[in-house]
Amino acid sequence: MDTDPTALVVVAHHRAGSLTAHIAGLIAKRLEAAGYRIDLMDLHGEGFDPNMTVADQPDWNDRDKVYSEETRAHMGRILAADVIVPVFPIYWQSVPAIMKGWIDRVWNYGFSYGRSKPRLAGKRMLWMGLAGAGADDPIVPVMKENMDRGLRDAISFYNGITEAAVEVLYDTEGEPQYVDEDGNFTKGEALVGAEREAHFAALENEAVEHVEKFLGLA
């Protein structure tokens, strides 16, 4: 019997060649090297529909409602995972629409919440967001607090996953961004050459280090 733990790495980006997808791949490789079986879920690549449907709308009078076949397949992949790592670009201090829709449809009443004994209890969850803002941007403390509350507390903890964290990779576009006191958005000069390569190599290392720290792999 195979007793290796399973890691579900969930990617939410519309471009297969994005930095988000690249970081997700690095995380998957590090987890595989640590002995995890990898389930790499590319929401866009798999054609997941984030729109709520009648079939997947919660029925508060029936927590054993049988949801759609697509949703039940995703539920099975979540149940099979010991560790869940969503990787996503940060939009408006939260996840993209496709990942929000994944939560709405799949993390549903009677499955992930609504039972005295949570089905997802004992799992671990690391949210990995990629931000264009630099780490010194004044918005960062507010953004991190909002994401901690909205993702770690309101989703992970609410669904019985008590060991959860949110980590953010900053300046993921390799060029400084500013919003001045008048609300004007501008970008500084983009990194080039060896400086750019070193910057993105550092982001790769940081992502892996977050995973290692969270799971005690370092």
Q: Domain total for the chain?
A: 1
Q: Which domain holds residue 127?
A: 6-215
Number of residues written out for the chain: 218
16 pLDDT exceeds 90?
yes
Q: Report d(CA 143, CA 154) in Å as an integer.
A: 15
pLDDT at 178: 77
Backbone phi, psi, residue 170, to 5°: -100, 160
Q: Of 31-40, 147-156, 173-182, which range is least confident?
A: 173-182
The number of C-alpha atoms within 13 Å of 58 and in the hemisphere containing its C-beta is 15
Residue 1 in domain: no
Q: Which residues touch 115 (CB under 8 Å, ≥6 apart)?
A: 63
Say what percent of the chain tops pLDDT 90: 89
54-66 average pLDDT score: 97
Q: Report d(CA 71, CA 52) in Å as an integer.
A: 11
28 pLDDT exceeds 70?
yes
- Single-letter amino acid code for the residue at 162: T
**Over the chain, what is the mean pLDDT?**
95
36 pLDDT exceeds 80?
yes
Q: Report d(CA 1, CA 89) in Å as an integer.
A: 37
Q: Report d(CA 64, CA 171) in Å as an integer.
A: 44
Q: What is the CATH number of the domain that holds 26?
A: 3.40.50.360
pLDDT at 23: 98
DSSP string for 107-163: S-BTTTBSSSS-TTTT-EEEEEEE-SS-TT-TTHHHHHHHHIIIIIIIIIGGGT--E
pLDDT at 181: 80
- The DSSP secondary-structure symbol of 33 reads H
Nearest CA-CA partner of 90 in 149, 171, 189: 171
117-135 average pLDDT score: 96
- With cut-offs at 50, 70 and 90, classify the pLDDT of residue 182: confident
186 pLDDT exceeds 90?
no
218 pLDDT exceeds 80?
no
Backbone phi, psi, residue 88, to 5°: -160, 155
Across 25-36, b (16+ Cβ under 10 Å) vs e yields ebbbebbeebeb
pLDDT at 2: 62
pLDDT at 189: 87
Residue 159 in domain: yes
> How does pLDDT run across 67-98, given as a tens digit for each residue?
999 999 999 999 999 999 999 999 999 999 99
pLDDT at 63: 95
207 pLDDT exceeds 90?
yes
Q: What sign results for the dihedral spanned by CA atoms 72, 77, 82, 85?
A: negative
Residue 53 tokens, joined: 């449907």
1 pLDDT exceeds 70?
no
